[in-house]
Chain A
Amino acid sequence: MPRIVQLPDHVANQIAAGEVVERPVAVVKELVENSLDAGASRIEIEFRQGGKRLIRVTDNGGGMDPEDAVACLERHATSKISSADDLNHIASFGFRGEALPSIASVSDFLLRSRPPEAEVGTEVRVTRGRRSQPQACGMSPGTHIEVARLFNTVPARRKFLKTDRTEAAHITHLCRLLAVAHPEVAFTLIENGRQVFRSPECANLRERVQEIYGQRLGQELLELKPAEESHAGGTYRVWGLLGEPGVGRATRADMLAYVNRRPVDSRVLQYALIEAYHSYLPSGRYPVAYLFIDVPPMTVDVNVHPAKREVRFREEEFLRRFIMEAVLEQLRHATRQTLKRAERVEDFTPAPEAENEEAEDGAEAPEAAPTVQPAPAPRTVLPKAAQPTERPGTAPAPSRERSRSAARATPPPPVQKAAPARSQAVETPARRETPAPAPQARPTPPTHPQPKAPASSEPAPSRLAWRLLGIVQERYAWLETREGVVCLNLRAAQERVTYERIEASEREAEQASQTLLFPLSLELSPLEADTVERHRDFWPSLGFTFEPFGKHFYRISSIPSWFEPEAAVDYLHDLIGLVREQGSRSFKADDARDSALRLAVRRIARISPLPNEAEVLPLAESLLRCRQPLTSPDWRPTFFEVRKSEIDQRLGL
């Protein structure tokens, strides 16, 4: 009697189920992906008891006729590919033809399906591996699948399931992921009869993210504008939503990446993101991102993992660079946007442009004036008047950016004329802050009594459109800006400015090292001395020169020129410590330098006095010239802004 036998289909299916259907969430994934592949625009997912009791997915997609409804339950039966060559062009989510038979083999399975053109649907049941005869049933177009008593035929697998709550959490997470990937599809998720979320068809990704993850997160995200690049014959596209610089999470959980709309865990993509955020996030924090990448189907292998969570890219290097560049560009842009608000109006409306603007303003005046004049409350004047006059140069970005740039724009002169001068209690300070070139270019009509007008034509003494209100508790400066007030953390700002100054000096071609009148002595532990000896060439590159002066004793004869001598010794100690720690691994001079630099800046900050009132504005100016002005070197925010609108809101205005 032969010992090797061909396994019957239902056994093979159960084995396959072990791979594909690991836990309830896998069932949901397969079913929802089928629905998406079927072109559904509405998907409803319902589950009970973490999906162990019941999983029901209903869609309004293409549906199947009676033959297909039976055929789809056969192993390796699929409509998605037909030859091995198709594997290179997989544009659908599923393709193996394993999911349905596998699921059916380990549960009580019910399939109902009706193509839109058919009059009735087909119902097929599979119970304990046995398929019922297809029957006609009444239903709306689409497909409806119920998976009840999952793993009832494989009790061992059942035992490995986690609690209902854990399984439910997995399902919810997955549904959110999928819903975010397909804003154009309406999603409903129901757990134990209770609605978890419902999101109608959304116009864009941001709306969907707001629906699913909350308004606030949605608003805080930056839009990663679609970027495209051709490489090796295919077109790569990236877009999505990104967390603002400085906004990070403790885990990678909020870094979501989709390849061809398929949620994936990809090292390549994660590293690209983390690297792009390198100078925008503290180390150890991870970015928030909804990153979408479209790649040519033949360059990605999704057939690596049964659940297709992992993918492989053929052009990893290119992809990494492409994503990094796109993300970095966006982050820089975002930083610039924040900074732009601090610039003087003159800075981005040079004199020659004023002429064009006059014409533009004139053209817009009829539109603006009616909005203004009937407005009963003065406070509504500024935003409304300002909105239609966004500068051509300031690219009105969607939503959040718009409100910023709107308030930034100068109130156009025609509106000034139309508005009664005295009633503009709110507008007056705004005008003083935004000394438009207008008064110089063409004198304000004398018929228009404007008490603040002479003030506004005076050249602002500072380059900033910020005005110091005062220093609070010696540590924080409050400044008035065009859009509200800014609270500046003086220490953090100082640290950032010092940090970038030193960093820049280290990048200069010629580094200056200050020789000392009185050599400083440096006493080291044996371990430290060993480190010093092993990395002999490193220290001079930083501007330190020292020679041995006894056992574990050194004389420092020159130090980096930006340093105070005594602080330099402490800095050197720190640096040696860091290098020693890293020594066991591969020694990275840059990392050691960077962390030591941070320490150095802290040290310098501690001994230097905080700026007084006269020094705040120059400090703010140099801060805003920094590459990364929003945080201190160790990632504390340097300032925050409270908008006028927020103040109004809080005061109930």
Chain B
Amino acid sequence: MKFKINRDHFTSGLQQVLNVVGTRATMPILSNVLINAEDGHITLTTTNLDLGIRCQIRSEVTEKGTITLPVRKLATIVRDLPSLDVEVETYSNQQAKISSGTSTFRIMGISADEFPPLPTFADQHSFMLRQDELERMLKSVSYAQSSDETRYIMNGVYFNFEDEKLTLAATDGRRLAVMSKELEVTEENAGSLILPAKTVSEVERLLGQGETVRIAFNDRQVAFEISSATDSDDKGLMDNIYLVSKVVEGKYPNYRQVIPKENDQHLKVNRESFLSCVRRAALVTTDKNHAIKVHVHDNTLEITGESSEFGNSNVTLLVEYNGPGVTVAFNPNYIIEPLKALTRDEVIFEFKDELSPGVIRTPDSFLCVIMPLRLT
């Protein structure tokens, strides 16, 4: 195997696949990247058996072949090479020579035969989406995923393709974020999956490089084909970045039934000011006592925080409201996080009484249900 490649292209390619590799892989081969030199490009592949990524980079290949090299070390070496022109050549004893300018490295690799192939599967369902849309949807809900590994079902984002729309949902049992968008869904193509948290963050990272993304999945696996733009800033990426991952197997909790239907009070509020008010009020709370109270009365939204350690805070915001006075306590983070993730200027805040959940909504079919804190 022998190829010439632009250093920055090589670096950006390695960056795409690097994150998958764990720091303590049980199999040494899993810390390596599979390099496959073909006509006019090389393919880089990494996997941790749960999640694998593949991308293609332009390159001048003079001799086809494959090798695997330790990806983290390789990435540091390539990034620090002195010249933009990099030449890589392999020898029969699984060594790779990397030369650039006056520097030469010989890196020990492992035979490509040992590299576990990315799973291939028959797509049962397949959808095409715009990358920016999926990115926005993921960001709007992903913060609500559970990090408690004992509730593995909630350690991910739920994708539901049904009723002519795609709905994304995430919850950790205390709040729930849901966002949906219109999408053509045929009856046989309908289906759902739970995308594991680690994959969610990888997908979020990779999205936004091009126009479209294709999602294909069955009961066990999901694949994302993320198109990369070749015209804008040239990273040397070719074709699609291909990401394949296991899905969380199990039945996602029925989130629809916990969306309150009787929240009769609501008010419109500017997202930014709501966010900054909650933040400010939460400044005096400690992580020991993470609670703020939201009082709503007579065109006023009043947010207070209190802790025995620091004292208290009181922040008010003028709103249009003339319903009955209501006070509800929340964990401020559960309000801050959705407000931060949203982009709309205005949100609707719904509530009923101090024991009922609060809801943040936007007109573009986003909603976040936040369970209140009961103060005793």
B interface, how many residues as a size bin? 35 or more
Q: Mark A493-536, 1 if CB is under 8 A from B, else 0.
A: 00000000110110111111111111000000000000000000
- Answer whether residue A317 sits at the interface, using C-beta atoms and an 8 A cutoff: no
Known: A517-B173, A517-B369, A565-B173. A512 touches B258 (CB 8 A): no
Contacts of A543 in B (CB 8 A): 374, 376
**Which positions 160-184 of chain B face chain A at CB distance < 8 Å?**
171-176
The answer on a CB contact under 8 Å between A512 and B289 is: yes
Q: Is the CB of B171 within 8 A of A517?
A: yes
| Chain B residues, CB < 8 A from A395 | none
**Interface pair A510/B376, CB less than 8 Å apart:** yes
The distance in angstroms between the C-alpha atoms of A507 and B306, with both chains bound, is 14
Q: Is A558 an interface residue (CB 8 A)?
A: yes
Residue-wise interface mask of A (539-571) relative to B, using a CB-CB cutoff of 8 A (1 in contact, 0 not): 011010100000000000010011011110000
Query: In this complex, what residue of B is CB-closest to A505?
Result: B288
Known: A510-B376, A512-B373. A565 touches B175 (CB 8 A): no
A359 within 8 A of B: no
* Residues of A contacting B373 in the complex (Cβ-Cβ under 8 angstroms): 512-515, 561
Q: Which residues of A contact B286 (CB under 8 A)?
A: 504
Interface residues on chain A, number (Cβ under 8 Å) = 28
B331 is an interface residue with CB less than 8 A from chain A: yes
Give B290's nearest chain A residue, CB to CB: A561
Quick check: is B375 within 8 A (CB to CB) of the other chain? yes
Set of chain B residues within 8 Å of A507, measured between Cβ atoms? 308
Nearest Cβ distance between residue B310 and chain A, in whole angstroms? 12
Q: Are B288 and A504 in contact (CB under 8 A)?
A: yes
Contact partner of B174 (CB less than 8 A), chosen from A505, A511, A516, A567, is A516
Cβ distance B147 to chain A, nearest Cβ, rounded Å: 8
Which listed residue, B147, B176, B308, touches A508 by the CB 8 Å rule?
B308
Are B149's CB and A561's CB within 8 A? no
Cβ-defined contact, B376 with A561, below 8 A: no
Smallest CB gap from B293: residue in A: A510
Residues of B within 8 Å of A545, CB to CB, are 374
**Chain A residue contacts of B262, Cβ below 8 A:** none
Q: Which B residues, 330 to 376, have Cβ-Cβ distances below 8 Å to chain A?
A: 331, 355, 357, 369, 371-376
Q: How far does the Cβ of A339 sit from chain B's closest Cβ, in whole Å? A: 18
Q: Chain A nearest CB: distance from B172 CB in Å? A: 8
Q: Known contacts A501-B288, A505-B289, A517-B369; decide if A511 and B148 are in contact (CB<8 Å).
A: no
The answer to whether B173 touches A515, judged by C-beta atoms less than 8 angstroms apart, is: no
**B258 and A607 contacting across the interface, CB-CB below 8 Å:** no
Whole-angstrom distance between the Cβ of A524 and the nearest chain B Cβ: 19
* A567 & B150 in contact (Cβ 8 Å cutoff): yes
A513 to B289, CA, bound (A): 10
Known: A512-B374, A515-B374. A564 touches B176 (CB 8 A): no
CA distance A507 to B148 in the complex (A): 26
Q: Are B173 and A516 in contact (CB under 8 A)?
A: yes
Closest chain B residue to A510, Cβ basis: B375
B134 smallest CB distance to A (angstroms): 25
**Docked complex Cα distance between A505 and B253 (Å):** 30
A462 to chain B, nearest CB (A): 19
Whether the pair B149, A607 counts as a contact (CB closer than 8 A) is yes
Residues of A within 8 A of B174 (CB): 514-517, 565
Establish whether residues A565 and B291, one from each chain, have CB atoms under 8 Å apart when the complex forms: no
For A558, the chain B residues whose CB sits under 8 A away are: 374
Binding site for B on A (CB under 8 A): 501-502, 504-505, 507-518, 540-541, 543, 545, 558, 561-562, 564-567, 607
Q: A504-B288, A515-B355, A565-B148 are in contact. List 19 more A-B contacts (CB 8 A).
A: A505-B289, A507-B308, A508-B289, A510-B306, A512-B291, A512-B331, A513-B373, A513-B375, A513-B376, A514-B174, A517-B173, A517-B371, A543-B376, A558-B374, A565-B172, A565-B173, A566-B150, A566-B151, A607-B149
**10 A-B pairs with the lowest CB-CB distances in the bound complex, closest first:** A566-B150, A564-B148, A512-B373, A505-B288, A513-B374, A512-B291, A565-B173, A515-B371, A504-B288, A510-B375
The 14 listed contacts between A and B (C-beta, < 8 Å) are: A502-B288, A504-B289, A510-B289, A510-B291, A510-B376, A512-B331, A513-B373, A515-B374, A517-B357, A518-B253, A561-B291, A561-B373, A567-B150, A607-B148
